[in-house]
Chains A and B, each alone.
Chain A
């Protein structure tokens, strides 16, 4: 797949739809792991209220993008912009306090802690205890099952329940944008379906969601727009419908990503 297939006017339409400042943005970001050039001039913009996805195979730079957005990895050049502010030098905690949160791949709950403690830790940086309690109620409204399991150790929950707690934990930080790392990874097909429904559910509730996925068909079926990353470069940037119909995506990428 080459960049030649990228239609220039498609990218232009994208940004014309959003005259406002993006909530989270990467401006020609380069990132390295030692000598490995993991991200090459990556441009991304996530706007308030969107559900967008970043697609790509293994080692395409998807996780690196998330790490860079969260401040776990410093870009070698370019800018990470959070709500108009360049946050390149700010630590993760600064970005979390200003509304960026991630639901990690494979959920990564604190398994030896109770569900309640997991949710409390999501709100670790917050001091507004009334609002925290209200947000916890909101999580219970979204996922009534979580309330039933509140005093259980997180490791004893089923995979689907753990996914709810992981999303709930992220929501407890009162985020403005939720990053999701491979929400379908390592889950049974029924759970993948459930998981994508959860994502749509919180998106409908008003959350901006940026998900990183290998399962392109699944992700594009619920997303508004998407990007395709290949060996550290954004090779496609278009609306979900256009991406699904794109010959290159269908031919090379989806062919290998589809498992069933």
Chain B
């Protein structure tokens, strides 16, 4: 046993030293930024706050709360999209980069349906009813898109080297973007006006109705998904296929059908996120799926890809970090124009987490053949 323990301790290489330096640097930036923020919150004139940023003003309680809530709302959407990346990775072992585009299809479907409903007058008279209706349509359309994508683009490539479906997924992504461009044109399209109670802030913690709506609906969807995956027979089959498809087939599980179900579920979650995006930002273009898609992918990796709880946590972490991070850490450090650095912060979180936990927050150690 002693021999085993000794052998496990590999000699430190240059790469290890470099990683350690990077880890320390990342933690230092976060720590100093946070300290400077705390300093400027306590007293704008104290020397530490002044040293870091002469123009420091600090945040009011309400501002801080607002940032957190926006972050959670945005993060909940990233989490919903991330579930699709994570589930597909779980069963097939490749990243479906077209998943962000499925989200865009959901937002577009929501836009088209809600405009139709607004024309018919139902959007104003019965907002909740219309919302349920557009969610229903969008979830179905997205699930179908994902299933067709699997059938046409990925199934024929099953068993080929991992890089091939990955590159195919990038192709599918461009295809979906261009279909949307051709059908709906390049201009940004707006969702119809939402009722006042959605737009205005509510007495409850001064939160906008839309954000409450997004957080509640996202949480409900995640609970549904969790129930399906953890408590139903199909869910058990999905987890079995994710772990060992060959043995799952030996149990009599239809592996192809299970994979289709995984794509459908992931697509449904993306469709849900698309509607929430529309309600929150009320504008959608054919490129809408790109950045949220990449961030959701980062969220899935941050949480530990293949782990559903991880995808949700990763989504929330990235959402909150990109919302709060610039003002909490970067501004006190004296960085200028911080409000434009949201995306940089989101991906810095990805790099930071991978530096400290290479398998993500909840990820298990991958077997060596998976690390290529």
Name A91-120 residues within 8 Å CB distance of B: 92-93, 96-97, 101-102, 104, 108, 110-113, 117, 120
**Contact partners of A92 in chain B: CB under 8 A:** 249-250, 252
Annotate A133-174 by CB proximity to B: 1 below 8 A, 0 otherwise: 000000000000000000000000000000000000100010
The distance in angstroms between the C-alpha atoms of A108 and B248, with both chains bound, is 10
Are A122 and B244 in touch, CB under 8 angstroms? no
| Distance from B308 Cβ to chain A, minimum over Cβ atoms (Å) | 12
Q: Is the CB of A122 within 8 A of B236?
A: no
> Is the beta-carbon distance between B251 and A113 smaller than 8 angstroms?
no
Knowing A120-B236, A124-B237 touch, does A112 contact B250 (C-beta < 8 A)? no
Q: Which of B313-353 contact A (CB under 8 A)?
A: none
Expressed in whole angstroms, the minimum distance between the Cβ of B50 and any Cβ of chain A is 52
B252 near A97 (CB under 8 angstroms)?
A: yes
Knowing A173-B251, A173-B252 are in contact, say whether A121-B243 is a contact too (CB < 8 A): no
CB distance from B124 to the nearest CB of A (A): 49
B361 contacts partner chain A, Cβ-Cβ < 8 Å = no
| A220 contacts partner chain B, Cβ-Cβ < 8 Å | no
The 0/1 profile, CB within 8 Å of A marked 1, for residues 216-249 of chain B is 0000000000000000010011011001101111
Chain A minimum-CB-distance residue to B247:
A108
* Interface: A125 (CB within 8 A): yes
Instruction: Answer whether residue B253 sits at the interface, using C-beta atoms and an 8 A cutoff.
Output: yes
A124 touches B239 (CB 8 A): no
Least distance between B332 CB and chain A CB atoms (Å): 42
Q: Tell me whether B249 and A110 are in contact (CB under 8 A).
A: no
Given contacts A113-B236, A117-B236, contact A122 B251 (CB under 8 A): yes
How close is B78's CB to chain A, nearest CB, in angstroms? 25
Q: Which chain A residues border B200 with CB–CB below 8 Å? A: none
Interface size class of B (residues with CB under 8 A): 10 to 19
User: Which listed residue (B243, B244, B251) contacts A124, Cβ 8 A?
Assistant: B251
* A216 CB contacts on chain B under 8 angstroms: none
A54 CB → nearest B CB, Å: 18
Instruction: Count contacts on A: residues with CB < 8 A to the other chain.
Output: 22
Question: Does chain B have a CB within 8 A of A185?
Answer: no
A118, closest chain B residue (CB): B240
CA distance A145 to B19 in the complex (A): 45
- B250 CB to closest chain A CB (Å) equals 6
| Partner among A72, A104, A121 whose Cβ is within 8 Å of the Cβ of B240 | A121
Contact string against B for A residues 49-84, beta-carbon threshold 8 Å, 1 for contact and 0 otherwise: 000000000000000000000101000000000000
Give the residues from 249 to 283 in chain B that come closer than 8 angstroms, CB to CB, to chain A: 249-254
Q: Which residues of chain A are within 8 angstroms of B237 by Cβ–Cβ distance? A: 121, 124
Taking CB atoms, residues of chain B closer than 8 Å to A122 are: 251
What A residues does B249 contact at CB under 8 A? 72, 92-93
Q: Is the interface of A mostly helix, strand, loop or mixed?
A: mixed
Most chain B CB atoms below 10 A, which of A92, A101, A108: A92
B309 to chain A, nearest CB (A): 13
A residues 165-205 near B (Cβ < 8 Å) are: 169, 173
- Which of B236, B246, B364 lies in contact with A121, CB distance below 8 A? B236
Q: Which residue of B has the minimal Cβ distance to A100?
A: B250
If the complex has contacts A117-B236, A120-B236, A121-B236, are A110 and B247 also in contact, measured as CB distance less than 8 A? yes
* CB–CB B252/A93 < 8 A: yes
A-chain residues with CB within 8 Å of residue B250 when the two chains form the complex? 70, 72, 92, 96, 101-102, 104
Question: Are A124 and B253 CB-contacts (below 8 A) given A113-B236, A117-B236?
Answer: yes
Distance to closest chain A CB from B226 (angstroms): 15
Q: What separation, in Å, do the CA atoms of A47 and B290 have in the docked complex?
A: 61
Across the two chains, which residue of chain A brings its CB closest to B249? Answer: A92
Find chain B residues with CB under 8 A from A102 CB: 250
User: Would A93 and B236 be within 8 Å (CB), given that A111-B243, A112-B243 are in contact?
Assistant: no
When distances are taken between beta carbons in the complex, the residues of chain B under 8 Å from A72 are 246, 249-250
- Chain A neighbourhood of B246, CB < 8 A: 72, 108
Q: How far is the CA of A108 from the CA of B246 in the complex (A)?
A: 10
Cα–Cα distance between A173 and B252 once the two chains are bound (Å): 9
Q: Which residues of A contact B239 (CB under 8 A)?
A: 110, 112-113, 117
CB distance from B304 to the nearest CB of A (A): 12
A113 neighbours in B (Cβ, 8 Å): 236, 239-240, 243
Q: Considering the complex, give the chain B residue whose CB is closest to the CB of A96.
A: B252
Chain B residue, CB-CB nearest to A113: B239
Considering the chains assembled together, what is the distance between the CA atoms of A112 and B247 in angstroms? 14
Do B244 and A121 have beta carbons less than 8 Å apart? Answer: no
B159 to chain A, nearest CB (A): 14
A residues less than 8 Å from B243 (CB atoms): 110-113
Contact present for B252 and A124 (CB under 8 Å): yes
- B-chain residues with CB within 8 Å of residue A173 when the two chains form the complex: 251-252
Shortest distance in angstroms between B4's beta carbon and chain A's nearest beta carbon? 16
Q: List 5 A-B contacts (CB under 8 A).
A: A72-B246, A112-B239, A124-B251, A124-B253, A173-B252
> What is the interface of chain B, defined by CB distance below 8 A to chain A?
233, 236-237, 239-240, 243-244, 246-254, 364
Residues of A at under 8 Å CB distance from B?
A: 70, 72, 92-93, 96-97, 101-102, 104, 108, 110-113, 117, 120-122, 124-125, 169, 173
Which 7 A-B pairs rank lowest in CB-CB distance, beginning with the nearest?
Answer: A125-B252, A93-B252, A96-B252, A124-B251, A121-B251, A108-B247, A110-B243
Known contacts A72-B249, A92-B249; 17 additional CB pairs below 8 A are A70-B250, A92-B252, A93-B252, A96-B251, A96-B252, A104-B247, A104-B250, A108-B247, A110-B240, A110-B247, A110-B248, A113-B236, A117-B236, A117-B239, A121-B240, A121-B248, A124-B251
